[in-house]
Amino acid sequence: MPDSFIENIWYATRERAESISKTIVYDDKGKLLLSEEAIAFEGNKLKLRVERRKIRNMSLVTQKLPIKSYAVSALASLVFWVPLLAIVLFISVILAFVLKNLFVIVGCMGAAILMFPLSILAGMAVGLSMKWVKIDYLDDKGKEESAYFFDGSKLGWGGIFGGTKRLYGAISKKG
């Protein structure tokens, strides 16, 4: 019988966490059951039970950034971005003509051009700020495995703003 459970948990396998081409950062969503003997994940698709005596290491880590996915989405967003820049240029030329100020064109275009790399950098910053609880353990056959857990509350923002650190503390103190 579990001593406590935590809802809104995202679970990722080692393969998912270390992939540079993932589009979704988790394999399953569910709840974590904590007891003195084990940590158990009950998800929508799978169940995992890790006996505490088989845990080799537990740490807070970040997953590898999905560089391939960022590159594909950056290229795909250019389809949207190029027409947007044309519209911004058109509007800024009209505003410059009405306001009789050429700096309007420079300001509007500069802001529009900067938004593209800044949006990509913002996505990468969010990815890097997502700390996961990584548990290295031995499975039933003695093979080393890793399980990654994240506080998925508030659509994932709960984990970014300290929920995963609290999750790490809750898992640690039960052992």
pLDDT in tens, 82-117: 787 788 788 888 887 787 777 777 777 777 777 778
Q: What is the C-alpha separation between 172 and 131, in angstroms, rounded?
A: 16
Examine the pLDDT at 1 and tell me if it is beyond 60. Answer: no
Q: What is the pLDDT of residue 175?
A: 57
Task: Based on the fold, state whether residues 85 and 117 are members of the same structural domain.
Answer: yes
Percent of the chain residues topping a pLDDT of 90: 48
Task: Based on the fold, state whether residues 74 and 58 are members of the same structural domain.
Answer: no
More confident residue, 46 or 96: 46
Task: Based on the fold, state whether residues 86 and 54 are members of the same structural domain.
Answer: no
Task: Based on the fold, state whether residues 90 and 118 are members of the same structural domain.
Answer: yes
Domain count, the chain: 2
Task: Based on the fold, state whether residues 138 and 101 are members of the same structural domain.
Answer: no
Task: Based on the fold, state whether residues 10 and 37 are members of the same structural domain.
Answer: yes
Examine the pLDDT at 134 and tell me if it is beyond 60. Answer: yes
Q: What does the pLDDT average to over 37-51? A: 96
Helix (H), strand (E) at residue 126: helix 103-129
More confident residue, 92 or 155: 155
Task: Based on the fold, state whether residues 11 and 53 are members of the same structural domain.
Answer: yes
Task: Based on the fold, state whether residues 59 and 9 are members of the same structural domain.
Answer: yes
Task: Based on the fold, state whether residues 56 and 86 are members of the same structural domain.
Answer: no
Q: What is the pLDDT of residue 2?
A: 59
- pLDDT by residue (tens digit) across 14-28? 999 988 888 889 999
Task: Based on the fold, state whether residues 80 and 115 are members of the same structural domain.
Answer: yes
Q: What is the C-alpha separation between 172 and 175, in angstroms, rounded?
A: 6
What is the value of pTM for the model shown? Answer: 0.77
Q: E strands within the chain?
A: 4-13, 28-34, 38-43, 47-51, 55-62, 131-138, 144-151
Task: Based on the fold, state whether residues 94 and 111 are members of the same structural domain.
Answer: yes
Half-sphere exposure of 74 (CA within 13 A, CB side): 16
Task: Based on the fold, state whether residues 145 and 169 are members of the same structural domain.
Answer: yes
Q: What is the pLDDT of residue 127?
A: 78
**What is the extent of the structural domain holding 16?**
4-63+131-174
CATH of the domain at 170: 2.30.29.30
